[in-house]
Amino acid sequence: MSNGQSDLAALLCSKLCHDLLSPVGAMNNGLELLADETDPEMQKRCLDLLADSARSAADKLKFFRLAFGAAGGFGNEVDPEEARVVITPLVTGDGRTELAWEIPSGMLPKRAVKILLNLVLIANDAMVRGGNLSVGAENRGEEQEIVIRATGPKLVLDPAIRAALDGSLPRDDVDSRTAPAWMVRDLASEAGGMVQLAEPDSEQLIVGALIKQ
């Protein structure tokens, strides 16, 4: 990337569009099938497909709005319940992954919430066959710690994403796939903190961040 934040924003937009292609494409297919279908049972199936796809697209937009966007409507702090609401359908929607929410009540800095959401996105994508995803945060006075733990039968973290998290990926090599990880590292560094990443493991992934309040 050569133009800093503007390039990062463009890459995040590309990531958002890529992830929305599937549900929006399914909606288009459903409408085409519905237009030609006369059987009541098949019409019902088409409508179910449209409803599921519309719900999936809406869930992803809500998630990306808070994870990537300016999160209009929120101040400098965000209720973690807002994060849980957008994370739950993303993680549990396919029925293969269970979510454990281990964040106490109380407001979190917006920066911390964005880091948390993007780490959840990364960990969830790494859970090829589902499993269990634990999301935790702890206030340590002047520091805020975020920890995401994923366990499952097959975990695959793209080496380029790992490199973006640990800072070894060259800036010019950042693309839409690695942009969320790069954003996490940027946000943590700007807050005088760091990204924490455990050694690779095929059945467990632990990633987190420590930032100044």
SS (H, E, C) 96-133: CEEEEEECCCCCEEHHHHHHHHHHHHHHHHHECCCEEE
Total domain count for the chain? 1
21-32 pLDDT, tens digit each:
888 888 888 888
Measured CA to CA, the distance from residue 198 to residue 6 in angstroms comes to 30
Task: Give the pLDDT score at 63.
Answer: 93
**Residue 181 contacts residue 11 (beta carbons within 8 Å):** no
What is the pLDDT, as a whole number, of residue 33? 82
For residue 76, what are the contacts with CB-CB under 8 A and spacing of at least 6? 109, 110
- Can you give the CATH number for the domain in which 175 is found? 3.30.565.10
Domain range for 60: 5-212
Instruction: Say what the pLDDT of residue 24 is.
Output: 84
The whole-number pLDDT of residue 133 equals 98
pLDDT at 146: 96
CA 44/CA 198 separation, integer angstroms: 47
Contacts of 64 (CB under 8 A, 6+ apart): 16, 19
> How many angstroms separate the CA atoms of 10 and 84, rounded?
26
Residues in Cβ contact with 130 at an 8 Å cutoff, skipping those fewer than 6 apart? 94, 96, 97, 152, 153
For 51-64, what is each residue's pLDDT tens digit? 888 988 999 999 99
Collect the ranges in the chain with pLDDT lower than 70: 1-4, 70-75
